Structure 1
Amino acid sequence: MSYQKILVAIDHSERANIVFEEALHLAKENQAKLLVFYCQPFEEGINLKRSVYSGEFITQVQDLQTELEREEEGDRAFLAQYLEKAKEYGLEAECGLKRGDAGRWICSVAKSWQADLIAIGRRGHSGLTELFLGSVSNYVLHHASCSVLIVQGKGKA
């Protein structure tokens, strides 16, 4: 099977490098375009009930906005490293960054970008841990509109 567009989903784990290398080699073999994608989880940082009544709401929203902008700047720098490596291999590559539920965003972006393949790592959760924490790779495997490559790797989670 030949791939023309590969979305590689990465995070800040050591395993991300293994996943990226696998996607990089597949993209090189197929002369495929590569989309390096990262989804920053959104953590709720405002206690609305307490904030509204104490008058701290506006200050907390401004602080949160500043923090989100700082995180996004760091995430873009993080992605740029992968983008540069892909370009060193002579590949056409771009990056994508979203905030929220990683599994849903990976599937959504892959569908809208018309990816042929999603390459994603797996942390190795199983049983109750996977039930309670969820599994991005499991969600993607069951909801993606294209083929999915789950890279086991041997990096630390």
Structure 2
Amino acid sequence: MYNKILVAVDNSAIAEQVIEVALTLAKAVDGKLMLLHALSQNAEDSPLSFAPYASSYSIDLIEKFKEDWKQYQQESLQKLEAWKQKAKDMNIQVELRQENGNPAPIICRIAKEWQAELIVIGRRGHSMASEILLGSVSSYVIHRSHCSVHIVQS
């Protein structure tokens, strides 16, 4: 069955649902989990997603962006740690990973490296137009992953 389950989460509202589905699946098959969060500057909650674009930046502004990004990384890691503890409390083997960059290729790469047999990921249900213009992480993963993908619909 699915012994190695990669769980791709972000900081959106659906992440909790994704975790619950993954915990249920892992418990049912006595599987291992890897919790993965790819930190993207384009994420809705990223401190850099609405950063002003200018021809030049002051040192103070750059330092502020660095501080905001560091805090974002730490807060995201704390969420992963809390979910990791929840899995451990259920006697599920779990590890976590957090990386910076474009989530879709990171998810596929880590799943392959870790030899995941299933990826659990959420889908927010953006309109067809926004998916065409912006792309969709879940769509990318479905079409490019080496293993099965379970989509949790918001």
Question: Which bracket does the TM-score occupy, shorter chain normalised?
Answer: 0.7 to 0.9
Residue in 2 aligned with 1:128? 129
Provide the alpha-carbon RMSD of the alignment.
1.8
Q: Which amino acid aligns with 1:40?
A: L
Q: Does the CA-based 8 Å contact 2:11-2:76 persist in structure 1? A: no
Larger helix proportion, structure 1 or 2? 1
1:96-121: CA deviation from partner (whole Å, max 9, x where unpaired): 11122111111111111111110001
Q: Number of residues paired by the alignment?
A: 147
1:26-77: CA deviation from partner (whole Å, max 9, x where unpaired): 11111111011112212474757323xxxx2x44433332222211111111
Using the size of structure 1 for normalisation, the TM-score is 0.84
Distance 2:4 2:139 in 1: 21
Distance 2:10 2:65 in 1: 22
- Residue 50 of structure 1 aligns to a residue whose secondary structure is coil
1:105-124 matched pairs, under 5 angstroms: 105-124=106-125
Provide the identity percentage: 38
Match of 2:56 among 50, 54, 70: 50
Q: Does the CA-based 8 Å contact 1:46-1:60 persist in structure 2? A: no
Deviating 4+ runs (over 6 angstroms): none
Flag structure 2 segments of 5+ consecutive residues without an equivalent: 42-47
Q: Does the CA-based 8 Å contact 1:120-1:150 persist in structure 2? A: yes
Residue in 2 aligned with 1:23? 22
Flag structure 1 segments of 5+ consecutive residues without an equivalent: none
Residue in 1 aligned with 2:45? none
1:76-101: CA deviation from partner (whole Å, max 9, x where unpaired): 11111111110111011011111221
Using the size of structure 2 for normalisation, the TM-score is 0.86
Distance 1:70 1:18 in 2: 24
1:7-86 matched pairs, under 5 angstroms: 7-42=6-41, 43=48, 45=51, 47=53, 49-51=55-57, 56=58, 58-86=59-87
Residue in 1 aligned with 2:4? 5
Distance 1:112 1:100 in 2: 17
